[in-house]
Amino acid sequence: MFRTALAAAGGLAVAAATALGLASPAAAQASADTVGAIRARGALICGVTGTTAGFSLPDSQGVMRGIDADTCRAVAAAIFGDASKVRFVNTTSQNRFTALQSGEVDMLARNTTWTLSREASLGFEFASINFYDGQGFMVKTSLNVTSAKALDGATICVQPGTTTELNLADYFRTNRMRFTPVVIESVEEIRTAFNSGRCDAYTNDASSLAAFRATQANPAEYLLLPEIISKEPLGAVVRKGDWKFFDIVRWAHFAQVTAEELGITSQNLASFADSPNPDVQRFMGKSGDLGRMLGVQADWAVQIVRQVGNFGEVWERNITPLGVQRGINRLWTQGGLQYAPPMR
């Protein structure tokens, strides 16, 4: 069914580990006052993909749209009270970590998986998880393959310098199967390669594959295979060493989750202004002094919801159109994993 494998999967794992380029934590320490630098500049600089529908992709007016873009906007709303004060910088799987380490960007929100090595060796901290994902495989329906276990001997398109590349090698080794990697850095080029038949299958986070399928002229020509072969918690990443900024990025996400838990949306926000509920009063900045603790205005959470929305609104706006079910990204009260610690 498939072309003969040209390289062993074991070699891919070694190459991928090298590509990840684990650096010394000392080389990645943040400046003493990231928030001060952001305010002096007048904008948050956020590293995104800029090419992934549902996560970060410019619309017809050139406005960056997606759940990752909105993660950046929520942080800007907390810091400035203005979600528009964001400068988006497109990064690749190869240069994203260098961009964060060097200070070219203040944070990353670009389909980046939280792993031990990235946090312990690269000098980063993962502040939040805005998408619980997993790696999958896509094939064309014309291939008549319905399971990843049937991909023995296949050629598979994959990006370098990613957990995806390592997971791919592990999965095939574990299942005693062979494959030929077609390693391409550019997302657009890898998708073109898949469409042109250079590879039998395309592997990436299942959400990214769904986003790709949703943008094709005939989505029915593409099939997401049922196997999910990894855990891919995606979220916001900052440099170690500036816990003030880390706290703002983390709690910007938790504020959106808390708002959804409380039933507060961008549309009904005003109706909660005089609520006697202590949790709502703290959220609205009327008690608890939480803004001062974070170093932002008292209504920081209100501004996030007013300008960006609660977590459910962000999901519905960006991810639901892709045809991706919310699943484990539902609130914990609905059987999902999205859970915010108490805002008190």
What structural domains and CATH numbers belong to the chain? 35-133+234-328 (3.40.190.10), 135-231 (3.40.190.10)
Bridge partner list, 136: 204
The C-alpha angle 117, 163, 310, rounded to 5 degrees, equals 90
What pLDDT sits at residue 90? Answer: 97
The C-alpha angle 29, 66, 227, rounded to 5 degrees, equals 90
Place of tokens 């609905």: 334
Q: How far apart are CA 72 and CA 83, in angstroms?
A: 8
Helix axes 34-41, 67-80, angle to 10 degrees: 90
pLDDT at 330 over 60: yes
What pLDDT sits at residue 186? Answer: 87
What pLDDT sits at residue 4? Answer: 45
Residues 6+ apart with CB under 8 A from 70: 308, 309, 314, 317, 318
Asked if residues 283 and 343 have their Cβ atoms less than 8 Å apart, the reply is yes
HSE value, Cβ hemisphere, 13 Å, CA-based, for 280: 15
pLDDT per residue as tens digits for the range 98-113: 999 999 999 999 989 9
Q: What is the pTM of this model?
A: 0.84
pLDDT at 12 over 60: no
What pLDDT sits at residue 70? Answer: 98
Mean pLDDT of 258-275: 97
Confidence of residue 32 (pLDDT cuts 50, 70, 90): low
Which of 294, 222, 313, 195 is CA-nearest to residue 252? 294
- Token code pair at residue 181: 């990697």
Task: Please tell me what DSSP assigns to residue 219.
Answer: G
pLDDT at 122 over 50: yes
pLDDT at 11 over 70: no
Backbone φ and ψ of 296, nearest 5° = -130, 180
Whole-number average pLDDT of the chain: 91
Mean pLDDT of 172-186: 95
Mean pLDDT of 331-343: 97
What pLDDT sits at residue 323? Answer: 84
